[in-house]
Structure formats: C-alpha cells, structure tokens
Structure 1
C-alpha cells in the first residue's frame, strides 16, 4: 500500500533548517577557536565563511537576547 507522502520531495523548509543547523555548527566551532586565541579573520577562513564580517554578524545574532528564545543562529 502506498502512502500519500511517498511522492513528496523535500521542500525549501527542509533546506532552510539544514542550512541553519550547518551555520550554527560553524559558529560554535568559530567560538571555540576564538576562545583559544585565534583571530576572527583566521577563524572565519578556517570555518569557511566568506569573510570575517559574516562571522561577526552571526556571532552578534547568536549572542542577542532574541536568539536564545528563537533557538540560536540561523533561526528567524
């Protein structure tokens, strides 16, 4: 017996959640590296962000009071 879900493909919401999770992992890794003395610039490169500005923006979002209520980085 086939179910109605069988023919469905993963929609954009699935990609958003996956990308948000990946971004959260990268920011957590960056926090670890920075906590051990790495510069923001070298850390951004190490965790494969396009530039240090992107990492700074995501770190600021992760530390904002609304981020903790919304579930962290990448969740809007």
Structure 2
C-alpha cells in the first residue's frame, strides 16, 4: 500500500487520485468517482469533493493509498 503525505487537515478525493497518480486528470477523477469505481475506507463513494483525512484508505483498480498527515 502506498502512502500519500498531505500538509493540510484533509484533501479532496479527486485531488488525492491525481496526487497519487491513480488518474491522469481531474476529468478522469470525476468520471471514475461518479461511476462508483473508487472506495474510501472500504465503501464506494461517489462524491468528488469527499474530504479525505489522515489514516483514510482510498482504493481504485486494486491500488490502495493511505493518507498521512505531515
């Protein structure tokens, strides 16, 4: 599982997917999130603006990323 370090209190789901190189653009992030292809802490979430906090786990296409606060 990869780890992504953030300096703020949270990061939005769409931004995290781009930061972790899980998608190549914000448009692609929007599409895969709205299609229900992304899981947050084991549950599908279709909100691109969903706030992701440290220790949350995001999964897309079998790749998992955990968020770590700075």
TM-score (norm. length: structure 2): 0.30
Structure with more of its chain in strand, by fraction: 2
If you compute each CA radius of gyration, which structure gives the higher value, 1 or 2? 1
Structure with more of its chain in helix, by fraction: 1
TM-score (norm. length: structure 1): 0.28
* Greater length-normalized contact order (CA 8 Å, ≥ 6 residues apart): 2
